[in-house]
C-alpha cells in the first residue's frame, strides 16, 4: 500500500510502535474492503475487530484527521450546541457501516504490508484455495494466500517461484491437471470497458466482434512485430507504460485511436491506472466470481486462468463459458515449459 502525507502525519504523531502498527493494519484492511470502489463501501465491525480489538480507536483517528468519513443521513440531536453527524447502520436489517476515503490513496510512498489472512475466513475463494493447496501437499504452516491492494490479484504458493526454482507448471505437469485460460484476456477486458462507457473503437470492435485474435491482428499491421511475445510486450507497454513506445511500433496508437485517447485520459493521475483497472477487472472475474463459485472443490487461480483436475475440466470449462460469456475460454494440459 501507499502511505500519503495525511496518514504519515498521523503515524508520526503516535509515540508507540504498536499504535502505529495498529493504524497501518486497520487502514490496510479498509483499503482491502473498498476494493476498486471509488465511493462508499461496506465495512462491518465484525470484519474490523478481526484486524484489531481496538479498531474503534483507529477509526476515530482516521475520522478526526479527515482520512475517511462514514455515511450519514442525519444529525445527532442530543446536543444542540454540538451538532454531530449520526452514524448510519442497522444490525437488524443487515445494514453495516459504510465509509469512503477522503484522501488520494494512490499518492505517497510504498509500504509493504499484507492484510491478515484470517480476514478471508468467510470467503469461499479463500477456503477453496486453502483446500486445494493442502491437496497439493503444502503444509498448513507454509500456506500463502493473500491479495494485493493494487490489482486485487491472488498470490499463493503456486503463483510465484516454488522452492526457489520450480513453477506451477513443473509442480503440476504429468497429465493430472489442466489450465482453463481466457484467450487474450487483457485486450478483451479493455474492449469490454470501452463498450461499457459507450466508446467505439472500430478496429477493436472489428477484432472481437469477428472472433479474430488481437495479437495476430497487430502483427499483420506493424512490421516491427515478428512474434506473439513481441505483440504482447507492445500491448503491455502501451497500456501500462509511461507513454514511450519504440518509433517502429507507435502505429498501435493510430490503429486504435479511440482506445489510445481513452488510455491517455485515464492515466491523468498515474500511468499505472489502466493497468490497475484491467487487473482489478480480471481479479473480479477470476477470483470473486469464477473461483468463488466453482462447481468443484479443487480449484486454483493463476491470474487469468483456473487450475483444475483432469476429471473436472469439462465441467469447469462449461461453467466458465456460461458464467462469463464475453470471454473466450480454452483449456490445456499443464506441461513444463521447454
Whether residues 61 and 202 fall in one domain: no
Whether residues 129 and 170 fall in one domain: yes
Count how many domains the chain has. Answer: 2
Whether residues 45 and 82 fall in one domain: yes
DSSP 140-205: GGG--EEE-TTT--EEETTTS-BTTTB-HHHHHTTTTEEEEEETTHHHHHHHHHHHHTT---HHHH
Whether residues 61 and 164 fall in one domain: no
Whether residues 240 and 286 fall in one domain: yes
Q: Is residue 9 part of a domain?
A: yes
Whether residues 101 and 180 fall in one domain: no
Residue whose grid cell is 442525519? 74
Cα R_g (the chain), whole angstroms: 23
Last residue of one domain, picked from the residues 51, 75, 110: 110
Query: Going residue by residue through the chain (338 aa), what tens digit of pLDDT does each one get?
Result: 788 899 999 999 999 999 999 999 899 889 888 876 778 888 888 888 888 899 999 999 999 999 999 887 655 444 444 445 556 555 444 457 889 999 998 888 877 655 565 666 668 999 999 999 999 999 988 888 888 767 788 999 999 877 777 899 999 999 999 999 999 999 999 999 999 999 999 999 999 999 999 999 999 999 999 999 999 999 999 998 888 899 999 999 999 999 999 999 988 877 888 998 899 899 999 999 999 999 999 999 998 999 999 999 999 999 999 999 999 999 999 998 76
Q: Is residue 163 part of a domain?
A: yes
What CATH number corresponds to the domain at position 94?
Answer: 1.10.10
Last residue of one domain, picked from the residues 110, 141, 162: 110
pLDDT for residue 28: 87
Which residues contact residue 143 at a Cβ distance below 8 angstroms, ignoring those fewer than 6 apart?
130, 133, 134, 157
Strands (DSSP E) found in 281-334 = 300-301, 305-309, 329-333
Q: Is residue 118 part of a domain?
A: no
Last residue of one domain, picked from the residues 110, 138, 160: 110
Whether residues 78 and 143 fall in one domain: no
Q: Is residue 195 part of a domain?
A: yes
45: domain range? 2-110
Whether residues 42 and 134 fall in one domain: no
Q: Is residue 187 part of a domain?
A: yes
Q: Is residue 116 part of a domain?
A: no
Amino acid at each position: 500500500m501507499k502511505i500519503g502525507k495525511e496518514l504519515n502525519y498521523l503515524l508520526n504523531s503516535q509515540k508507540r510502535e504498536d499504535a502505529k502498527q495498529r493504524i497501518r493494519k486497520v487502514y490496510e484492511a479498509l483499503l482491502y474492503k473498498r476494493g476498486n470502489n471509488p465511493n462508499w463501501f461496506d465495512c462491518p465491525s465484525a470484519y474490523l475487530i478481526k484486524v484489531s480489538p481496538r479498531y474503534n480507536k483507529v477509526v476515530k483517528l482516521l475520522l478526526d484527521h479527515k482520512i475517511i468519513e462514514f455515511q450519514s443521513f442525519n444529525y445527532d440531536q442530543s446536543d444542540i450546541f454540538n451538532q454531530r453527524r449520526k452514524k448510519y447502520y442497522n444490525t437488524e436489517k443487515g445494514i453495516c457501516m459504510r465509509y469512503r476515503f477522503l484522501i488520494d490513496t494512490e499518492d505517497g510512498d510504498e509500504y509493504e504490508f499484507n492484510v491478515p489472512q484470517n480476514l478471508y475466513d468467510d470467503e469461499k475463494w479463500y477456503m477453496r484455495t486453502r483446500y486445494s493447496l493442502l491437496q497439493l501437499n503444502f503444509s498448513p504452516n507454509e500456506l500463502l494466500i493473500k491479495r494485493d491492494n493494487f490489482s486485487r490479484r491472488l498470490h499463493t504458493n503456486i503463483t510465484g517461484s516454488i522452492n526457489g526454482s520450480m513453477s506451477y507448471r513443473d509442480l503440476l505437469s504429468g497429465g493430472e491437471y489442466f489450465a482453463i485460460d481466457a484467450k487474450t484476456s487483457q485486450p478483451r477486458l479493455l474492449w469490454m470497458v470501452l463498450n461499457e462507457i459507450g466508446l467505439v473503437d472500430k478496429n477493436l470492435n472489428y477484432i472481437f466482434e469477428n472472433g479474430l485474435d488481437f495479437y495476430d491482428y497487430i502483427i499483420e499491421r506493424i512490421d516491427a512485430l515478428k512474434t506473439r511475445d513481441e505483440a504482447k510486450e507492445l500491448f503491455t507497454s502501451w497500456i501500462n507504460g509511461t507513454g514511450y513506445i519504440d518509433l517502429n511500433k507507435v502505429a498501435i496508437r493510430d490503429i486504435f485511436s479511440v482506445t489510445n485517447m481513452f488510455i491517455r485520459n485515464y492515466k491523468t493521475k498515474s500511468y499505472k491506472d489502466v493497468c490497475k483497472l484491467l487487473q482489478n477487472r480480471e481479479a473480479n472475474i477470476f477470483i470473486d466470481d469464477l473461483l468463488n463459485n466453482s462447481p468443484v472443490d479443487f480449484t486454483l487461480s493463476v491470474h487469468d486462468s483456473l487450475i483444475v483436475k483432469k476429471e473436472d475440466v469439462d465441467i469447469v470449462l462449461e461453467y466458465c463459458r456460461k458464467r462469463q460469456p464475453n470471454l473466450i475460454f480454452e483449456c490445456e494440459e499443464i506441461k513444463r515449459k521447454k
